[in-house]
Structure 1
């Protein structure tokens, strides 16, 4: 099994997949090997389908785990063992459930910022919201990524290993300058216990949760909700969905269009036909 794991790890690295993907895929291959209980080069397609039934019926894993396992096994058997003639269409993916996020209003976002008594905590949250950044992207920022001459923030190697630029808010720039004078960051814009290490994701999540609780936010929200709010608020302000797609770094427009289902301008500002029926009723003489 060790030789297969080494072969798989090398293949993932050669294909340029992220270290995080490697950390997820290799244990899934190991779990499948335990399930079949024999050398992987003797496996047949029916073994993969049996494993998928095991995941879905017996273990009842979520669609994300199920689909990651399908990706990992397809990749291993096709790329590492050369099983290009297998009917991989019979090793399916589960359909993703669409769960609409709860959206923070602009007033609620402002209350969260105001609830931060620590300047560093406040500027971390403001930066994420200002550019619609993911948690990992926010914490990976370097001081040099803030380009005040062009008023942009460089997001290097975001999800999908793609670089992009997002706008630099004038309000954020002023707050960042205040933060810079007080904290003097070196290697990382938002450092952790030492200036040589970035702030931990768990710490950033805790910062958000504490601020949201102080702001009396009752919605089911997390640090990522700042990104959802960024996209929704832009859409409500009339920004073209293609522009929002580019700012968020989405590969597919379909991913961005989920915000049309939660934007106020697309929902509550659209008049219900019931109102027109009621208005057409004859008035009593």
Structure 2
């Protein structure tokens, strides 16, 4: 942050603390915000060839914004990443403008680059089951095989994020029929636990060679430490290659599959939104690969006037 004025640095730190304490932003989000806004402020300092105090920051022009975006693109930053960086800068400027009493028009009117939204690719039910079966075959050590099956079954059977599954403690076992999960931004949700997930976790617990204290991680690595997401990503990569599944068959794809399979079985979007812990229904819609025909089918079946 050496290129940034003390006033700008202090303002950024205050904003980040505001995002964390009042808006519940996750640690990874705060880290991304810090990096993105720091890069922007450093560029503006260099671009203007002068330290940028708060007064100078309030005088940002459309030309300055275009120069920053061009400079960022020239560093091989893709449109999706640039859009994320711009979003962080806009959020910071909204807060700064409200606090300092200036109009952040040039920043807020800057258009985000267009990019194609990558829709998640859920697996078919049979493919998801085959993947779990194949995951079990990736290790000749029984407890590791049982561990990997338990984690992947939680992703598919309960719609958990990998961080949520690996965040479970030994005290959560045996898993109840309904589990309380703390997700992104501290958002709490209730998730039913399917029998297959409860059974898979039970098998793993019985085989695990390490002492599992209630306040310690449920899932362990080979040396007894907390299991890393990378280990699950690798075992799924091996399994999908053996099955000839696409590279999109990732741990997160199991969560997409959970949502899509529920929808196809007649679940409604609002309920699935709650189970996934999404703040926005549009996010759930993307997860479930909902198309217009499917929405109309739900509408025709469920709306009172459609009867």
- TM bracket, shorter-chain basis: 0.7 to 0.9
Cα RMSD, aligned residues only: 2.8
Matched with 1:30 is: 38
2:204 and 2:180 map into 1 onto residues whose CA distance is 19
Go from structure 1 to structure 2 and tell me whether the alpha carbon gap of 1:39 and 1:72 turns closer, same or farther (over 3 Å shift).
farther
The answer to whether the 8 Å contact 1:142/1:188 transfers is yes
Matched with 1:52 is: 69
Say which of 67, 76, 88 aligns to 2:92: 76
| Deviations, residues 148-190 of structure 1 (Å, cap 9, x unaligned) | 45x112221x123311121111121122112111215330121
2:188 and 2:162 map into 1 onto residues whose CA distance is 15
Go from structure 1 to structure 2 and tell me whether the alpha carbon gap of 1:33 and 1:64 turns closer, same or farther (over 3 Å shift).
same
Matched with 1:223 is: 251
Q: How does 1:138-217 map to 2 (within 5 A)?
A: 138-145=165-172, 148-149=175-176, 151-156=177-182, 158-183=183-208, 184-186=211-213, 187-195=216-224, 197-217=225-245
Matched with 1:126 is: 153
Matched with 1:15 is: 19
2:282 and 2:194 map into 1 onto residues whose CA distance is 27
The answer to whether the 8 Å contact 1:141/1:188 transfers is yes
Structure 1: runs of 5+ lacking an equivalent: 270-285
Matched with 1:280 is: none
The answer to whether the 8 Å contact 2:90/2:108 transfers is no
Go from structure 1 to structure 2 and tell me whether the alpha carbon gap of 1:40 and 1:19 turns closer, same or farther (over 3 Å shift).
farther
| Deviations, residues 14-51 of structure 1 (Å, cap 9, x unaligned) | 33232212211222233223322132222432223431
Go from structure 1 to structure 2 and tell me whether the alpha carbon gap of 1:77 and 1:121 turns closer, same or farther (over 3 Å shift).
same
Structure 2: runs of 5+ lacking an equivalent: 138-144, 298-307
Aligned residues: 264
SS at match of 2:184: coil
Shift of residue 129, structure 1, vs aligned partner? 0.8
Matched with 2:142 is: none
Matched with 1:273 is: none
2:69 and 2:250 map into 1 onto residues whose CA distance is 31
Go from structure 1 to structure 2 and tell me whether the alpha carbon gap of 1:83 and 1:55 turns closer, same or farther (over 3 Å shift).
farther
SS at match of 1:15: helix
The answer to whether the 8 Å contact 1:113/1:122 transfers is yes
SS at match of 2:191: strand
Shift of residue 104, structure 1, vs aligned partner? 0.9
Matched with 1:281 is: none
2:116 and 2:279 map into 1 onto residues whose CA distance is 19
1:60 and 1:33 map into 2 onto residues whose CA distance is 19
SS at match of 2:218: coil
Calculate the TM-score normalised by the size of structure 2: 0.75
The answer to whether the 8 Å contact 1:185/1:191 transfers is no
2:263 aligned with 1:235: yes
> Which structure has more helix as a fraction of its residues?
2
1:28 and 1:259 map into 2 onto residues whose CA distance is 27
1:60 and 1:83 map into 2 onto residues whose CA distance is 35
Between 219-228 and 79-88, the greater mean CA deviation after superposition: 79-88
2:71 and 2:114 map into 1 onto residues whose CA distance is 17
SS at match of 1:258: helix
Shift of residue 90, structure 1, vs aligned partner? 1.2
The answer to whether the 8 Å contact 2:175/2:193 transfers is yes
